[in-house]
A and B are shown apart, each in its own frame.
Chain A
């Protein structure tokens, strides 16, 4: 028989106390357990520096920083996060790649990793592990992430760029919902302008919103910069049709869109100057955040909604959403720690929380996350759930590589649309200029 002496009571109490403590630190437990089990053991004394694009939604950043903190707790690796404006990430990454020094991890957009594939660490092992565990990657993730059959980067999030509109305004203009084909969409824009509640898409150097809509328009009418073999085919009647359509749209925009960068449509929409634009869900998030203090924000929040892009004559959706690939630079001293970080970020216990925190600003590339509660939390947000699956990739039919990245960075398509819409050049001339530039990039 066991002696119920002081020692055994104390031991029992200690055991009970330990169990209690364990359940409170369940997350930490997971983290530590993960760190033990993960195939990538961070190097001793590792420290990481991550450069990411500046957040669009505050809660997304908060959730991300919580994720980073959890990683540090799990592995003891300090991670410092640098924030740079979205357009600055690519130049800085290029400089770092070429000078061999800088942050260990870069988190950029579209085909950034393909600008310097030889200067990046291969991450096929991380990708295979995650793909197996979470229901497989979406197709575009493989396109963006792989070069020559090997994974060089992981698009750990996408951003859905969709139509943001004011329900009451489009109803006043005679439409119950945003039309599903381009012809009717043009009618809607005309009607909105007629009621003095116009819409507007950015035509300045807006690398997010501007690129999203011009590529949608170009592809919707069957135009393409290059074909599957990277031959330049932009000079085609389809491209001309797309440009003419854009011209017709522009005539019904609010004046001034040619000088808009990514922030202007947010500003205008939230001030009630426009009633329809394209954006991620950050406008809605802003309105929600300000709804308590400002009745106007509350009104916008309840009145607005999101919709998918109309389908053009080509017959299927031609959406262009933003992919955010994360990559590890080869000059890093701690590649294992960096790989561990990427894997950690996409593990359910962390990624789920981050998805929720980003209030649908971020969409997942792994199929298992379709079930994340954020997609059902607010019906207005469900629409972006599948954007990773629906998106076409940079470069259109052609390769997602250095040249596609170059074309995007040079605003080849955007400038073509802008010069036609503002009337600076004719359709023919604009296409000729774009073709010449494309040929130089894709030579």
Chain B
């Protein structure tokens, strides 16, 4: 009978089990996929960050855990606000960051423009230019330490031989000389990164724009100002934000070159917190307070760099990610 044929029971379409639904559920999968990264970042970044802020309200000593550390409230901060060496470190950090970043940007951009020309062996030159960035900072700092030696500096010696100066330059013993020397070493190290990244950005600028501008009679400076720079701003913003971040929190270069000297003239907040917490009086609470105090300054520098340099992003026509 037809109904019997029609009403042949089809294979039961059972509702998929919870498990097999879960397996393809995006959120579930997403959570599992994120787990390793999340584990690292929570255990070794978020938790210590919170712990650091907590420590800054205590008078902990090295080796004490947070629960046995004596509570100090905002004592550390109150003390730091009037602490001369700390205020000097804040000034040094801001000065160092600002000057080094501006110099790195200017020289890096200039170098990128130079490299953007048609050059023989461009690939090799580009590889060579990056070497200062590859080599571990402390090792090149050791070379600079010797180059800036008060008695045996190659720079002093050469200048003396040429008759330009008569006594050795006191690179690292005079407060301002030390600051400029340290900035020089930092710029030396940072320029390659900025130059190469900006170079990549420059290479995405269509040459036809330049051609059109030349035909219209634009000078090189005008081309730079109206074509190159605006198109580069997104990349500049990113690169400089990184650069500001790394410069502000620099530790290695100062530690090896001057260790904060002379008399604290090159002490940055990072080295001050290390010296106070780990080396000197071993006051973890105070060191944590200095580190925590870095955060608002750091945020401010980054925001200024990011939003200040970021302009006309809509002109790129790129949808935000």
Contacts and interface: CB of A to CB of B under 8 A. Distances in A.
Q: In the complex, are there CB atoms of A and B closer than 8 Å? A: yes
B262 A409 contact: no
Interface of B: 61-64, 79, 82-85, 150-152, 167-168, 170-175, 178, 258-265, 276, 278-282
Nearest to B83: A436
A22 interface: no
A91 B170 contact: no
Nearest to B65: A98
A87 B167 CA distance: 32
Contact of A98 (B61, B151, B276, B279): B61
Interface stretch (A257-265, A276-284, A342-350): A257-265
12 contacts: A87-B279, A91-B278, A98-B63, A255-B167, A256-B168, A258-B170, A258-B172, A259-B150, A259-B171, A259-B178, A422-B265, A424-B264
B259 A410 contact: no
A409 B281 contact: yes
Q: Is the interface of A mostly helix, strand, loop or mixed?
A: helix
A257 B172 CA distance: 9
A333 interface: no
A425 B64 CA distance: 36
Given A98-B64, A256-B151, A271-B152, A422 B174 contact: yes
Contacts of A264: 150-151
Given A429-B84, A441-B281, A419 B172 contact: no
Contacts of A267: 151-152
User: Which 8 pairs of residues, A with B, have the shortest CB-CB distance?
Assistant: A98-B63, A256-B150, A258-B262, A259-B172, A418-B263, A256-B173, A258-B173, A419-B263
Nearest to A261: B259
Contacts of B264: 415, 419, 424
A309 B63 CA distance: 40
Interface in A383-423: 406, 409-411, 415, 418-419, 421-423
A406 B280 contact: yes
Contact of B151 (A99, A273, A415, A418): A273
Contact of B261 (A91, A204, A406): A204
A409 B173 contact: no
A258 B79 contact: no
Nearest to B151: A273
Contacts of A425: 84
Contacts of A91: 62, 278-279, 282
A437 B64 CA distance: 22
B281 to A, nearest CB: 4
